[in-house]
Amino acid sequence: MSSKIIMDRLGDSVCEDSRPTSSPEMQKFCNTPLKRKKEQLCKGKPGKDGLCWRHSPRQDDTFQPIGGKFRVTETMGELRKIAKEEGVRGYSRKNKMDLVRLIESATDRKFKRREVLTRKQLKAIARRRGITNFSRLKKDQLAEKVKQSIEEAADQIEIADKREAVGGIFGTVDIKPKTQLDVETFIRLSWGKIRSTISEGLVEKKGLKVEILLHVEMVRIIPATSENNYANPIFRSASRVILESSDLDEEIAQMEDKIKESMEAFNAKGSGWTFGHIEKLEIQLNEHKPLKGSSYIPLPKKLAAKKAIVNVKNEDQQCFKWAILSALHHEEVDQKSSHRVKQYEKWTDELRFDGIDFPVSFRGIDRFEKFNEGIKVNVYGFDMGKEGGVYPMRISEKEDAGAKHVDLMLVANDETRHYCWVKNLSRLLTAQVSDHDGEAYFCRRCLNHFTRQEKLDQHIEYCGQKKAVKIEMPSEGSYISFQNHIRSMKVPFVVYADFECFTTKVQPEPAKSGVDRIMQMLEHFLELIKQKVEGGEPSEPHTKILQKHVPSGFCYHIKCFDETVYAKEPVIYTTQQEGEDVGQIFVDRLTKDIREIYQQNDFKKPMTMTEEDKIAFAEATKCFICDQELGEDRVRDHCHFTGKFRGAAHNDCNLNYRAPKFIPVIFHNLAGYDAHLFIKALGATEGKIDCIPNTEERYISFTKSVAVGSYKDKKGKMKTLYQHLRFIDSFKFMGASLQKLVESTPADAFTNMRRGIWGQADGSGTLQDWTL
């Protein structure tokens, strides 16, 4: 019943959103040359890539990089001694890495970190490097052997320095592999050059913008032609600002981690790509010009007229300091002279500016907030060229209910920039959002306004989790329109399906003896101590399985967009005996029906036009596909399944307007329930599976390739024709239970249910007639 409910809710068809899949032809043997037996080939059973499990290049082994954890060399005792000497509080109960972060956030001290690899990770690197006889080595011996192997491969990379700007400091440095290298080895070989390149630049310049880009080649097989399709993705580290005071090893490690995260995200897409080879690693160095506030600048007339800003007239480079002091002591000075530096000189020693260079950059503001707890600084900019030109530039990330928020305006001219204090944010911003003269309450992060403080407080709970943004509305009269018209054709077939299950109790494990229970408790206690020392969260208690769900039956209905082309009653199956593999039966029956549809029907019918169709074509002025004016390239478009004339169209629109090459199979709560009942059976049958994973156990969608026929290519070779079943979850876009969906749907909308086994042949009957 539930499959028909979903069908009625979704309609008779689903629009295309195709995703490429692949399925290479199978061969009899692996035929890979054996290393230890010359002139002999492997006779192992090949997989989907044509190679056996021993010789198949696993994507994780060739493409997925390996990264260890970065640890500091200091012991816990040394760290606690440092914290005590620096006057840091609250360190006694911290684990090692939390203690390191606490000391670094409270002081100027930075700890050097080194990468620590587990034995399993070292073995993976050794396997990639082709190292033999390493399985019985101790961890230290294995680490040394891996290090020697990588050092010996140092001559396997070549460097091309393309820097020309500013005396050869800024520009690009390329590192290319001379031979085929795995990602992990290549990154480790490149580490020294990356470090020396950045170090050389910091000798000449105090700060650099650095970005690392890894260029690789990926390959996948096109199912229709069995030809290779190549792509060249670039994995970026994101641009980082590196200063003389930065920990260079830590900065490079973070850039490397960012590249690895990008590669993992690419792997998780499940689009059929496999790793080809590394092309190059690119180091980009650019000049760092931080935003700074310096000497005095008069306010623009538009800002000065609002009388919402105090602009201290300083003659030095310390406008940031005077702006902060004017915010803290505005009520204590002569209001007529609040713009004079002398009014604030007696309070200059109450703030800490240790290690902060004037004029102050945004990074310097971060340091200021660290040394002066209780003060949060927000910086806004002003754009003279746009209506309502105030926008957030830097908003404090550290939320503290009891902190003093200081709002600064950073104004600029062609020569310099200048900080001044915004004493009334409402007066500054109200005119650009409303004609109302009363006070408004503004969110500092997004500049949305509210009439009451209570509403602003509710908004901040959500907005505080987001980054500060500058809101720009589209210009008046602008619009966007749908362009991808080739994706608007309805799928010819859609399948609605559902499983039903019995719940059976799981027999509990036999009770353990007293000694076993004590040993289990001791092991858990030792694990907690180890995690507390090394850092990290304790593992969750083991799940106790009380019952399991066993499929008792299923129902699916194949719905065609036109019942004159194909119509069939729903397939209903109930288990006949205990232990029956209901999931496998579902897969077998569904794939059989799909094959029959394409083998028993001709879906290339010629066009048939009535007199009304001929008149409609002659009078048509717009393409029925893209809704644009027709020209001399007008053609007749018809449905290849029915032969019916659809309308006049542009020639290009007609050629690109093709039926999707997949059939949606819709389950309600597929990811959370039904997929677990048949996914193994689906993987055991012939044909490739492509999936879009959400987690390791949940899938957003997955596609199964089903062979439905064969054809001859241009060379006369027979090729297999595949149709793709795309399993999707209706719960993702109808987030309610089936019961609520039925209750919210009018009874006369169940057109498919009325024609089902619970209704009447003529479609009559009441809701009670066909509800179980």
Distance CA(145)–CA(433), nearest Å, equals 66
Higher pLDDT, 228 or 704: 704
Which pLDDT value is given to residue 495?
A: 94
Three-state secondary structure of 600-621: CCCCCCCCECCHHHHHHHHHCC
The stretch 187-212 carries a mean pLDDT of 81
CB 657 within 8 A of CB 582: no
Angle at CA of residue 570, ends 567 and 571, nearest 5°:
120
List helix spans (H) across 405-513.
Answer: 425-433, 453-463
pLDDT category at 616 given cuts 50, 70, 90 is very high
CB 182 within 8 A of CB 202: no
427: closest CA among 416, 437, 412? 437
Which pLDDT value is given to residue 530?
A: 63
Highest mean pLDDT pick, 388-397, 403-412, 692-701: 403-412
pLDDT category at 761 given cuts 50, 70, 90 is very low
Higher pLDDT, 240 or 288: 240
pLDDT category at 557 given cuts 50, 70, 90 is very high
In sequence order, what DSSP letters do the residues of 680-693 get, joined into one string?
Answer: HHHHHSSS-EEEEE
Distance CA(239)–CA(209), nearest Å, equals 6
Higher pLDDT, 115 or 196: 196
Distance CA(502)–CA(762), nearest Å, equals 34
**pLDDT above 50 for 18:** no
Range with lowest mean pLDDT among 164-178, 530-544, 738-752: 530-544
Tokens of 26: 């199978």
pTM for the model = 0.47
CB 98 within 8 A of CB 86: no
Higher pLDDT, 493 or 131: 493
Which pLDDT value is given to residue 12?
A: 44
The neighbouring-strand residues paired with 176 are 158
> pLDDT by residue (tens digit) across 406-437?
999 998 887 788 999 999 988 888 877 776 66
The total number of residues written for the chain in this structure: 772
The stretch 609-613 carries a mean pLDDT of 92
Which pLDDT value is given to residue 322?
A: 92
Which pLDDT value is given to residue 125?
A: 73
Range with lowest mean pLDDT among 184-198, 447-461, 704-718: 184-198
251: left (phi over 0), alpha (psi -120 to 50) or beta: alpha
In sequence order, what DSSP letters do the residues of 126-184 get, joined into one string?
Answer: HHHHT--S-TTS-HHHHHHHHHHHHHHTGGGEEEEE---HHHHTBEEEEEEESS---HH
419: closest CA among 512, 338, 325, 322? 322
Which pLDDT value is given to residue 16?
A: 39
Distance CA(66)–CA(72), nearest Å, equals 19
> pLDDT by residue (tens digit) across 30-89?
777 776 666 678 777 776 556 675 666 544 344 445 555 667 778 888 888 888 888 787
> pLDDT by residue (tens digit) across 129-138?
667 777 778 8
Percent of the chain whose pLDDT exceeds 90 = 15
In sequence order, what DSSP letters do the residues of 203-230 get, joined into one string?
Answer: HH-SEEEEEEEEEEEEEEE-TTT--EEE
**pLDDT above 90 for 590:** yes
Long-range contacts of 104-111 (CB under 8 A, 24+ apart): 105/370, 106/370, 108/354, 108/355, 109/82, 110/247, 110/250, 111/72, 111/74
> Would the CA dihedral through 311, 317, 323, 329 be positive or negative?
negative
The stretch 236-264 carries a mean pLDDT of 79
The stretch 569-592 carries a mean pLDDT of 91
Q: What kind and span of H or E run contains 494?
A: strand 493-505
Which pLDDT value is given to residue 386?
A: 54
Percent of the chain whose pLDDT exceeds 70 = 79
The stretch 497-508 carries a mean pLDDT of 86
Q: How high is the mean pLDDT of the chain?
A: 78
Neighbouring C-beta atoms of residue 157, cutoff 10 Å: 20
CB 311 within 8 A of CB 298: yes
**pLDDT above 50 for 504:** yes
Residue 486 CB partners (closer than 8 Å, separation 6+): 16, 653, 656, 657, 658
Highest mean pLDDT pick, 141-145, 493-497, 761-765: 493-497
Higher pLDDT, 536 or 139: 139
Higher pLDDT, 565 or 767: 565
In degrees rounded to 5, what are phi and psi of residue 290? -70, 145
Which pLDDT value is given to residue 423?
A: 92
The neighbouring-strand residues paired with 283 are 173, 212
- Domain ranges for the chain: 19-50, 59-73+112-287, 295-463, 611-656, 738-770
Which pLDDT value is given to residue 578?
A: 84
**pLDDT above 70 for 401:** no
Distance CA(528)–CA(532), nearest Å, equals 6
